[in-house]
């Protein structure tokens, strides 16, 4: 049988054949098949084979021949018309060109040339007219569809500094770049977060090298995206306003004596005014400016994560009563300078097809050399607010300073080899550069004496072996020379000095390790806005610096004397390492380097040339995991920024899950995982609060069979309340009280063995039912930050479930890890029915009853009971998990419900106290882990 297309083609070819010409079917002339000389006949019927159709060449199909019957008569007129039609069709097929063919393609192959399509004169004379008409037609059609675009600049013009700067500013309209963006973009995978374009991780292998750098040498990060908010006013009024945002139960506040002096940096968790312990905002670090002689005003810098700024800044304005915006003169001048001119001269207009060239009028005007605003605020918004009642001034200094973080035991060695204390200006330099800040600074003898003391303290850092030996939060102010002047010819790894110091230097080193930097040496000119602007505006360009180097008599030597505009005020802030727990003390300690804006790359390249390792956002999370500290905003589920992060993370993980084929992705319903992409904390604390209020033991409720339990969950699925996490963040709290954490930490530890010294928290009351009920009276709706260490093999993953073990799981003769029985997927048939109805187009009423957001393998909202869904009660989830290189085993960090934790501890024997089960979302195996709360 012929296909439909062939039948249509045959009918089209045969439509001109005369009707008077009749041909008999070729099958009619063929007799029936014979076998042994006899014809096979049916009784009363004769079966004829189906007529053969289709065009063949030579003979018919199946070996048949042409029929020998001839037509009885032929009409001459009809026969001639038929033949004429065939000849006409043949000529039309030969001469007609298709839409994609050109004139030169009508030539025979031996005459075709590529140049014929561009040069009409190469065609034969008979085809030139047709080709010229086709060319004009194509040009006319092209001019109607699109206009001729102006020619782009040449590469040489695009690579000019001014044009590059304008192009970079255009690309920063949505996401602001840091000063080291170009350096990172060539070596890192970049991500767009919080209004900035940041480096996430290097393009080469980095996990183990970065860990070695943090453990033995130095790791460098650019954290200039952190936001700085400055508060100015009287000390009493500032402390009164800030006391509403903190609580002494969580640790030192803004009023801590050691931090108030200005020689130490402090950290605190900020809450909404008067709402402790609920409605937290997030963690911040703060730094007071040392007191000045005869001045009652104080100056405070608060450093916050960019995801926290939109919640922190309005709260600071409310408690400080600063609602009146103030326009600074510098902001107004920069706004007028960077605004483009609305009028364009006729000479500057581009003509179609013309070449873009910068005219003299355009070149004489100032170009936009900076981007207004930052990643957390648009351009034109106010940055300064003042209170008429309290006199407090709030200034947003985001992107006004550069901040680098050096992590590792040799971070101070890198700093001491990279930076050198500023040299004095001679009298000739003081007279020549009257507009610079350093020559004026050198005229004050008291300031120069302070500078000399700061230089001595900085040189004392060379004799310290590790950065962890310095008191936590130490602040040192210093003025240094331009580090580009001492840039080495090639990369060298900074190593500590092993020379034996004198007794005087040994005494200075001991005092620095015990007491830290004196209060007077913590002062720095970086606090002054005028000095920062002066240093930024008078920075020596790379071109000028190279010209000065070329004029040296000895190539490669240092410029002497140092240019007066090459002095930069900096602040060195010590970052404490791990401060909780008993193992790996001071791991991850280092220094933060604060610089004026515009000097980012001038300090970045010299630091890189000292052999440091560069890391991005990914390694910040890994550092928090090794320290056992919560990472913002990942591990702050009760903060607004943490809620927003969890929603974004859930959407990202769900989209990634949907991109995989259904047969190649995990069915979390069969694994008994209700929330593989998020952590429903609100539902968890509500269920445990109801269970503890009823006073029942959760372990007795787990004896029921899994099949019966899943059937009940399916029936009650429609009547369950919505626990999708949309409730306000004040529904549950995270325990941050030091006293409560110490008590829980002591209860989670097994009793010390015979002859072993009791650890911290040894004076805590023993864990009994009465003490637990007293504790739960104030923490019934709370979760606590815990650390889990696997006691066997395994690697914890994100959103792994923390479950309570049964008595059989803790027996020493257990040969293998317990396993969760497979669950039944009740939604699989509904998903298939929805797909079937969408394909067939029927069953609209039945398909409408199905949830449109139903995803195969994932539980839809609302979720069933979390605590009793699996064979082991769920206590919490893991927010950070990985294999720990320091501990040599899998470690996880997360939150567990306080009532569930105490219920589990009370039901365990003392020798197994603190043991829980850990199960990854894509696994059915439970792993035994030891839980600990580090304070």
Tokens 């039912």 -> residue: 769
What sign does the dihedral 720-723-724-726 (CA atoms) show? Answer: positive
Tell me the pTM. Answer: 0.77
Please report the pLDDT score of residue 584 as a whole number: 83
| Closest-CA residue to 559 (of 445, 640, 460, 483) | 483
Confidence of residue 228 (pLDDT cuts 50, 70, 90): very high
Average pLDDT over residues 567-578: 93
Which pLDDT score, from 0 to 100, does residue 21 have?
47
Owner of token pair 């992409």:
677
- What percentage of the chain has pLDDT greater than the value 90? 44
Q: Count CA atoms within 13 Å of residue 573 on its CB side.
A: 24
Tell me the β-bridge partners of 228. 303
915 or 97, which is more confident: 915
The reported pLDDT for the residue numbered 924 is 93
Lowest-pLDDT range of 52-66, 152-166, 255-269, 521-535: 52-66
Higher pLDDT, 27 or 97: 97
pLDDT tens-place string over residues 199-222: 999 998 888 999 999 999 999 999
- Reported as half-sphere exposure (CB side, CA atoms, 13 A), residue 610 has a value of 27
As a whole number of angstroms, the distance between CA 758 and CA 779 comes to 26
pLDDT at 847: 47
Residue 181's pLDDT band, with cuts at 50, 70 and 90, is very high
HSE-up of residue 426 (Cα within 13 Å, Cβ side): 5
Tokens matching residue 165: 């700067």
For the ranges 443-452, 723-732, 768-777, the lowest mean pLDDT is seen at: 723-732
What per-residue confidence (pLDDT) applies to 798?
A: 94
Cα 780–chain centre separation: 34
Please state, in angstroms and rounded to a whole number, the distance separating the CA atoms of residues 632 and 613: 23
Q: Regarding predicted confidence, which is higher, 892 or 565?
A: 892
The percent of residues in the chain predicted with pLDDT above 70, rounded, is 78
Which pLDDT does position 583 carry in this prediction?
Answer: 81
Say how far apart CA 531 and CA 435 lie, in whole Å: 11
CA 255, CA 134: separation in Å to the nearest integer? 85
Burial of 440: CB neighbours in 10 Å, binned 0-12, 13-18, 19+: middle
412 vs 706, more confident: 412
Question: How confident is the model at residue 143, as a pLDDT?
Answer: 63
Homologous superfamily of 226-326+372-398 = Aminomethyltransferase beta-barrel domains (3.30.70.1400)
Across 175-179, 344-348, 873-877, least confident range: 344-348
> Look-up: residue for tokens 């040299």?
423
Positive or negative torsion for Cα 128, 133, 134, 138: positive
- The residues that bridge with 881 in the sheet, in sequence order, are 892
**The pLDDT of residue 346:** 39
User: Tokens at residue 880, please?
Assistant: 């950070």
In CATH terms, the fold of domain 204-224+400-427+434-495+505-536+564-624 is Gyrase A; domain 2 (3.30.1360)
Instruction: Tell me the backbone φ, ψ of residue 697, rounded to 5 degrees.
Output: -90, 125
- 933 pLDDT exceeds 60? yes
Q: Does the pLDDT at position 696 exceed 60?
A: no
| Tens of pLDDT, residues 51-109 | 444 444 444 444 455 555 677 888 898 889 989 999 988 888 777 655 556 676 677 77
Q: Note the residue count of the chain.
A: 935
User: With bands split at pLDDT 50, 70 and 90, how would you rate the model's confidence at 11?
Assistant: confident
Averaged over 754-761, what is the pLDDT? 56
Candidates 473, 407, 469; CA nearest to 252 is: 473
Least confident of 226-235, 364-373, 687-696, 818-827: 364-373
Please tell me which of 551-565, 783-797, 805-819, 830-844 the model is most confident about, judged by mean pLDDT: 783-797
Q: What is the pLDDT of residue 441?
A: 87
Do 618 and 189 form a contact (C-beta atoms < 8 A)?
no
Residues 671, 799: contact at Cβ < 8 Å?
no
User: Region 361-390: what's the mean pLDDT?
Assistant: 66
Does residue 408 contact residue 218 with C-beta atoms inside 8 Å?
yes
pLDDT winner (highest mean) among 412-416, 463-467, 545-549, 701-705? 412-416
User: What sign does the dihedral 371-372-374-377 (CA atoms) show?
Assistant: negative
DSSP state of 908: S
Tokens found for residue 794: 């395994």
Per DSSP, helices labelled H in 339-421 are: 360-364, 411-418
Please state the domain extents for the chain: 204-224+400-427+434-495+505-536+564-624, 226-326+372-398, 640-693+731-750+763-837+852-932
Give the tens place of pLDDT for each residue, 108-126. Answer: 777 777 777 677 888 888 8
Q: What integer best gives the mean pLDDT of the chain?
A: 81
pLDDT at 132: 86
567-575 and 38-39 beta bridge pairing? unpaired
User: Helix axis angle, 503-515 relative to 445-460, nearest 10°?
Assistant: 90
Neighbours of 91 (CB within 10 A): 10
**Calpha distance 643→682 (Å, rounded):** 12
- Residue 593: is its pLDDT beyond 80? yes
- What pLDDT does 40 receive? 40
Question: Residue 821 and residue 827: Cα distance in Å, rounded?
Answer: 18
pLDDT at 430: 58
| Radius of gyration, CA atoms only, the chain | 40
Q: How confident is the model at residue 350 (pLDDT cuts 50, 70, 90)?
A: very low
Q: 211 — phi, psi (to 5°)?
A: -65, -40
Mean pLDDT of 849-862: 77
pLDDT greater at residue 760 or residue 544: 544
User: Distance (Å, rounded) from C-alpha 250 to C-alpha 293?
Assistant: 33
Per-residue pLDDT, 223: 95
Top pLDDT among 255 and 726 is at: 255
Q: Is the peptide bond before 108 cis (omega within 30 degrees of 0)?
A: no
- Choose the most confident range, by mean pLDDT, from 33-42, 138-147, 215-224, 340-349: 215-224
Decide if pLDDT at 192 tops 90: yes
């Amino acid at each position: 049988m012929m296909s439909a297309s062939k039948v249509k083609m045959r009918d089209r070819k045969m439509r001109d054949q005369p009707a008077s010409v009749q041909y008999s079917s070729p099958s009619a002339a063929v007799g029936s098949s014979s076998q042994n000389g006899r014809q096979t006949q049916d009784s009363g019927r004769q079966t004829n084979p189906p007529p053969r159709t289709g065009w063949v060449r030579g003979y018919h199909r199946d070996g048949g021949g042409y029929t020998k019957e001839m037509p009885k008569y032929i009409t001459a007129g009809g026969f001639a018309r038929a033949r004429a039609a065939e000849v006409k069709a043949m000529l039309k097929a030969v001469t007609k060109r298709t839409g994609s063919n050109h004139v030169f393609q009508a030539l025979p192959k031996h005459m075709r040339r590529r140049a014929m399509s561009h040069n009409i004169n190469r065609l034969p004379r008979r085809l030139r007219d047709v080709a010229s008409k086709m060319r004009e037609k194509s040009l006319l059609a092209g001019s109607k569809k699109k206009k001729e675009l102006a020619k782009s600049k040449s590469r040489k013009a695009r690579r000019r500094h001014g044009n590059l700067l304008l192009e970079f500013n255009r690309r920063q309209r949505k996401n602001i770049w840091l000063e080291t963006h170009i350096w990172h973009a060539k070596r890192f995978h970049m991500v767009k977060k919080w209004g900035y374009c940041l480096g996430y991780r290097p393009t080469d292998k980095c996990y183990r090298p970065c860990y070695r750098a943090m453990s033995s040498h130095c790791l460098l990060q650019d954290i200039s995206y952190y936001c700085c908010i400055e508060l100015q006013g009287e000390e009493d009024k500032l402390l009164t306003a800030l006391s509403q945002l903190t609580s002494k139960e969580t640790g030192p506040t803004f009023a801590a004596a050691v931090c108030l002096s200005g020689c130490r940096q402090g950290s605190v968790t900020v809450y909404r005014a008067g709402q402790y312990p609920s409605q937290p905002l997030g963690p911040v670090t703060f730094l007071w400016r040392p007191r000045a002689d005869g001045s009652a005003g104080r100056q405070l810098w608060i450093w916050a994560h960019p995801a926290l700024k939109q919640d922190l800044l309005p709260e600071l304005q409310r408690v400080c009563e600063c609602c009146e915006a103030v326009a600074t003169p510098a902001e107004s001048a920069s706004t007028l300078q960077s605004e483009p001119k609305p009028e364009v001269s006729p000479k500057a207009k581009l003509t179609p097809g013309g070449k873009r060239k910068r005219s003299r009028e355009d070149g004489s005007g100032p170009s936009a050399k900076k981007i207004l605003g930052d990643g957390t605020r648009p351009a034109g918004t106010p940055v300064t607010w003042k209170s008429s009642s309290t006199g407090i001034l709030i200034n947003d200094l985001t992107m006004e300073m550069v901040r680098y973080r050096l992590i590792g035991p040799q971070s101070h060695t890198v700093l001491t080899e990279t930076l050198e204390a500023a040299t004095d200006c001679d009298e000739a330099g003081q007279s020549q550069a009257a507009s610079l800040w350093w020559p004026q600074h050198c005229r004050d003898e008291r300031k120069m004496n302070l500078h000399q003391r700061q230089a001595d303290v900085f040189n004392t850092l060379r004799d310290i072996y590790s950065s962890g030996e310095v008191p936590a939060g130490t602040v040192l102010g210093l003025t240094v020379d331009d580090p580009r002047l001492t840039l080495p010819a090639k990369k060298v790894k900074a190593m500590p000095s092993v020379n034996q110091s004198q007794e005087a230097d040994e005494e200075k080193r001991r005092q620095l390790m015990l007491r830290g930097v004196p209060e007077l040496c913590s002062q720095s000119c970086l606090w002054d806005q005028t000095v920062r602007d002066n240093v930024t505006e008078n920075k020596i360009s790379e071109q000028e610096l190279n010209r000065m180097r070329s004029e040296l008599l000895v190539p490669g030597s240092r410029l002497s004397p140092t240019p007066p505009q090459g002095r930069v005020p900096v602040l060195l802030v010590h970052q404490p390492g791990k401060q909780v727990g008993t193992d790996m003390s001071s791991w991850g300690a280092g220094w933060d380097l604060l610089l004026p804006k515009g000097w980012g790359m001038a300090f970045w390249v010299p630091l890189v040339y000292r052999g440091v390792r560069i890391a991005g956002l990914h390694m910040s999370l890994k550092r928090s995991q090794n320290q056992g500290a919560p990472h913002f905003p990942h591990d702050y589920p009760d903060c607004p920024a943490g809620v927003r992060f969890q929603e974004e993370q859930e959407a990202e993980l769900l989209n990634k899950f949907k991109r995989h084929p259904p047969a190649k992705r995990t069915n979390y319903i069969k694994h008994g995982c209700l929330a593989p992409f998020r952590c429903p904390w609100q539902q968890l604390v509500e269920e445990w609060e109801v269970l503890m209020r009823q006073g029942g033991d959760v372990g007795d409720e787990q004896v029921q069979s899994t099949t019966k339990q899943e059937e009940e969950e399916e029936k009650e699925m429609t009547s369950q309340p919505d626990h999708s996490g949309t409730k306000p963040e004040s529904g549950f709290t995270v325990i941050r009280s030091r006293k409560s954490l110490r008590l829980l930490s002591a209860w989670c530890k097994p009793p010390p063995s015979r002859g072993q010294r009791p650890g911290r928290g040894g004076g805590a009351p023993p864990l009994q039912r009465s003490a637990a009920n007293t504790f739960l009276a104030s923490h019934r709706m709370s979760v606590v930050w815990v650390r889990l260490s696997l006691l066997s093999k395994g690697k914890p993953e994100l959103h792994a479930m923390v479950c309570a073990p049964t008595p059989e799981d803790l027996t020493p003769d257990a040969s293998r890890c317990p396993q969760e029985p497979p669950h039944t997927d009740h939604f699989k048939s509904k998903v298939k029915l929805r797909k079937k109805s969408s394909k067939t187009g029927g069953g609209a009423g039945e398909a409408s009853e199905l949830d449109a957001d139903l995803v195969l393998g994932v539980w839809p909202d609302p979720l069933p009971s979390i605590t009793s869904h699996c064979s082991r009660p769920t206590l919490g989830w893991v927010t950070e998990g990985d294999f720990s290189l320091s501990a040599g085993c899998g470690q996880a960090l997360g939150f567990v419900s306080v009532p569930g934790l105490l219920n589990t501890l009370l039901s365990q024997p003392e020798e197994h106290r603190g043991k829980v089960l850990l199960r990854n979302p894509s696994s059915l195996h439970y792993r035994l882990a030891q839980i600990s709360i580090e304070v």
